[in-house]
Amino acid sequence: MENALVKTESEQSNRYMVPGLIRGLKILQAFSSEKPFLGVSDIARELDVSRSTAFRLSLTLENMGFLKRVKHSKKYCLGLKVLDLGFKLLAGMDIVDIARPHMEELSENTKVCSHLAVRDGISVVYIARILGKHHTVSSVGVGTRFPAYATSTGRILLANLSIAELATLYEGIELKKITKNTPLTIGDLINQIEQDKSDGYTLSWETYEKNLASLAVPIRDNTREIVASLNVSCPTTTYSRSELLEQVLPELMQKAASISTALGYRH
Amino acid sequence: MENALVKTESEQSNRYMVPGLIRGLKILQAFSSEKPFLGVSDIARELDVSRSTAFRLSLTLENMGFLKRVKHSKKYCLGLKVLDLGFKLLAGMDIVDIARPHMEELSENTKVCSHLAVRDGISVVYIARILGKHHTVSSVGVGTRFPAYATSTGRILLANLSIAELATLYEGIELKKITKNTPLTIGDLINQIEQDKSDGYTLSWETYEKNLASLAVPIRDNTREIVASLNVSCPTTTYSRSELLEQVLPELMQKAASISTALGYRH
DNA sequence: ATAATTAGTTTTATATACGAAACACATTAC
DNA sequence: GTAATGTGTTTCGTATATAAAACTAATTAT
């Protein structure tokens, strides 16, 4: 009972959280392509709860269709119901439907891949992708997360925050050196974002991955806030830096403007 | 306290279920493209729980990233974390990775859309899609669910069950007449499935949607069970019935065989 | 303007979800 | 073979999550 007081350890601060739900969701998150099958005991170890609790939680998730028993085994794997949630979210995002035709034209005209992304805390989450028909294809599928500070799309989205908000957001977060071009301090990041703002675009040349170029611009809605970022990405060999800026950027900005207009933004 | 005994009403039978988790998941499922924003009171009404409970559950989901407050409002919308689960599931399904290149060839050669689907109870769930380059594109995205009895892919997947299992699965389920070709009784369905089995394929001609044709075949793995269904679909005007069977079917079966082989199936 | 309604949040007494221990039955060790 | 460990499941007393009520702070009605 002496550890009843030491509840602050790694748990969320709020005293209103319901443990059954936290744990249930953590179970779903515990599954991965490396660990696709977990038994009750595995789950109990993973979450540091008793086997009886793990048992009841798993049973609940199974009954709801979020977990499935694998045939002729007592182990569980993720159930197909987990797909529903994600696709319901995307279906509700009319920005995806609005943007897609423009993105298809963009990809058709530039021959490269295009992505639409939104910010979730310090992450960029990709919510739409059009594969270029004629060149190396993107491996960034819908649902992919990247650190915002290290990607062109991410920096565009961070530009919507004030310096104070940025500082709060990145308080205690370490910026990892991914390639030679990634910002290493919040100061660096803020400077880059200020530069982006005056340019109106972000060019990332091997910032997140060697040999990968990406050019991103903001999309705004009727509130005038930056709600998404539209980008094109390709190998650094497809277009040179100047070709990207001279040939691709105007096309990209025009499509972004069309999407913003469709979302109610008045220029 | 008199209603404490009447717990069986619509709740799950099992006495080990943890209510906090059930309710939390039901909250996530309550959001839809028609109702993208819900407040604490809305949620309380929707789940028939007290506002204080709805409050604590929402707070928990918010802290976990599964719900987000919409700006300048107390309402919630789905958080982007829900995407993670679905895409983790798909990433773990190596059948998708294995099938995709074959599906791309298939779509390239036949010029129409191809889908890969698995069964989840009485539903078919689509887990991969390749859009045809030259014709009307499919609106059946990854994650889409359809009633298994009414689709070609679904009937192929149902063929893996014994008649007894089929009867159990559809016990108390009403088959709705979707078009003139949908089976209306379990007897009809079983007859159709028996026919499919001897044919080795299912042709659905306007079965689920007017003007839509779909041709599906089974995919088996090392256990010799039908684990997925591969199909092509197109408007009924693209290919005639006989063209589908003579030109497209051999190609489809060959690709399905390749995928089955890659999954360990020995012919 | 004022009252009435509805919203989200906080408190608190009690119904209940939880961990510990026991159980049954595998699988592995020796 | 038997012992030893590991698994999923069940029971049971107690710590705790919950519903009801109280409390604010917004909206809406009048």
| B232 token code pair | 């092509």
Tell me, yes or no, whether A88 lies in a domain: no
From A22, A49, A80, give the residue that closes a domain. A80
- Specify whether the CB–CB gap between B155 and B216 falls below 8 A: yes
Number of domains observed in the structure of chain A:
2
- Nearest-angstrom CA–CA distance, A41 and A158: 42
Return the pLDDT at A116.
Answer: 97
Domain extent, residue B157, equals 93-262
In this structure, the answer to whether residues A14 and A63 fall within a common structural domain is yes
Give me the CATH number covering residue B52: 1.10.10.10
Which chain A residue has its CA at the smallest distance from B118's CA? A80
Whether A4 CB is under 7 Å from strand D: yes
Q: Kindly list the strands in the beta sheet with B123-130, ordered across the sheet, starting from the edge strand earlier in the chain.
A: B145-147, B123-130, B113-120, B226-235, B212-220, B202-205
Return the pLDDT at A4.
Answer: 32
pLDDT tens for residues A24-54? 999 999 999 889 999 999 999 999 999 999 9
Give me the CATH number covering residue A130: 3.30.450.40
In this structure, the answer to whether residues B110 and B228 fall within a common structural domain is yes
In this structure, the answer to whether residues B37 and B131 fall within a common structural domain is no
Suggest the residue from A14, A15, A25, A223 to mutate for an interface test with chain B (most B CBs closer than 10 A). Answer: A25
| A213 token code pair | 């170029």
The distance of A114 to chain B (nearest Cα, Å) reads: 17
Return the pLDDT at B162.
Answer: 93
Return the pLDDT at A136.
Answer: 67
Residue B25 CA to its chain's centroid (Å): 19
In this structure, the answer to whether residues A43 and A134 fall within a common structural domain is no
Question: Which residues from chain A sit within 8 angstroms of residue B51, using beta carbons?
Answer: none
Return the pLDDT at A94.
Answer: 86
From A48, A80, A112, give the residue that closes a domain. A80
In this structure, the answer to whether residues B103 and B59 fall within a common structural domain is no
Tell me, yes or no, whether B48 lies in a domain: yes
User: Can you list the residues of chain A whose pLDDT is less than 50?
Assistant: 1-13
In this structure, the answer to whether residues B36 and B109 fall within a common structural domain is no
The pLDDT profile of chain B, 267 residues, written as one tens digit per residue, is 333 333 333 333 477 889 999 999 999 999 998 899 999 999 999 999 999 999 999 999 999 999 999 988 899 999 999 999 988 898 888 899 999 999 999 999 999 999 999 999 999 999 999 987 765 667 788 899 999 999 999 999 999 999 999 999 999 898 988 877 788 999 999 999 999 999 999 998 887 777 889 999 999 999 899 999 999 999 999 999 999 999 999 999 999 999 999 999 998
Return the pLDDT at B134.
Answer: 65
- Specify whether the CB–CB gap between A22 and B60 falls below 8 A: yes
In this structure, the answer to whether residues B115 and B174 fall within a common structural domain is yes
Tell me, yes or no, whether A86 lies in a domain: no
Mean pLDDT over each residue of chain A, to the nearest integer: 89
Q: Which residue intervals of B49-125 are DSSP H helices?
A: 51-63, 81-92, 94-110
